[in-house]
Amino acid sequence: MERFKDKNILVTGSTSGIGQACAERFAKEGANIILNGRHFADDEKQLIKTIEAYGNKVKFVQGDVSKGMDSVGILQQAIDAFGSLDILVNNAGVERNANFWEVTEEDYDLVMHTNLKGVFFGTQTFVKYCRKENRPGVVINMSSVHEEIIFPHFSAYCASKGGLKMLMRNLATELAPLNIRINNVAPGAIATPINQKMMADKDKMKGLLENIPMKRMGTPEEVAGLVAFLASDDASYVTGSTYFIDGGLTYHYEEQ
Ligand code: NAI
């Protein structure tokens, strides 16, 4: 299947976890990939080789999406990389665990700036480009089930993903006349480095799995499959919605 042949796609935060799986899935389906991460070292060089093996073009754009102007620069470099940009996946994200009354301004800023501000100004740069060139576009935000359900002790994270829900809904209406589609993907518990600590804690894992009707974590590849669908022309009439991928977690009901 070559749904993305000749398409140029930027995935932010694509050096691990869900972002990396999305980059690989798009490459497998024929796309040229613009990778992004804050650092460029041996792991990133290896990742470039892995993606190149699918036979398409790859470029790594180094940059920190949490810095407003960096996210603009990342988008500009991504557009320049292969001369055009078709699809933006706003994937980079961080979380910090603390009681609400102990959250520092530094951690609040890190989470909000990475998960929301970076998406805001990165997407704005992409939209300005699409308008100027009169091109269609697709945007996918990696949100979370926590744009909808609570996550005690992760207040900044929930605020950022809740903000992402309304940003996406607002933009869907504003950007539809420009032929730009935008949707959120909301994963539940996915086995990636962000969950490393929890996955090493047997008791926490037991509690988590009890809450998931499918009784397992998801894989980054499963999330990438949904992202690929939403980015493709198979989803040409889809905009303004959140797609949960959570093994049933969000709306489950405990049978007594
Ligand atoms: P991860 O920690 O493996 O990946 C996050 C990626 O973002 C990393 O490559 C990291 O280097 C990059 N990143 C972080 N801050 C950045 C910045 N300022 N600039 C550029 N890149 C940056 O974790 P995972 O799970 O793959 O997370 C990806 C997205 O999925 C995040 O937005 C996260 O909130 C979301 N998510 C993950 C869930 C999970 O259970 N793994 C559940 C719900 C949402």
Cα 15 from Cα 120, distance rounded (Å)? 21
CB 111 within 8 A of CB 96: yes
Q: Is 73 exposed, middle or buried (0-12, 13-18, 19+ CB in 10 A)?
A: middle
Q: Which of 43, 192, 205, 250 to mutate to test the pocket of ligand 1 (most atoms within 8 A of CB)?
A: 192
What rounded mean pLDDT belongs to the chain?
97
Query: Is 192 touching ligand 1 by the criterion CB < 6 Å?
Result: yes
Query: In the chain, which residue ranges form alpha helices assigned H by DSSP?
Result: 17-28, 42-52, 68-82, 105-112, 118-133, 155-175, 196-199, 202-210, 220-231
Question: Which atom of ligand 1 lies nearest, measured to the CA of 220?
Answer: 26
Point out the residues that are catalytic.
Answer: 157
Q: Are 30 and 56 in contact (CB under 8 A)?
A: yes
Regarding the beta carbon of 66 and ligand 1, being less than 6 Å apart is answered yes
- ipTM of the predicted assembly exceeds 0.85: yes
Residue with CA closest to ligand 1 atom 16: 92
Dump pLDDT digits (tens) for 118-154. Answer: 999 999 999 999 999 999 999 999 999 999 999 999 9
CA 207 – CA 237 distance, rounded (Å): 38
- Residue 14 CA: nearest ligand 1 atom is 9
In the chain, where the domains are located: 8-245
**Domain 8-245, architecture per CATH:** 3-Layer(aba) Sandwich (3.40)
Rounded-to-integer distance, Cα 79 and Cα 6, Å: 14
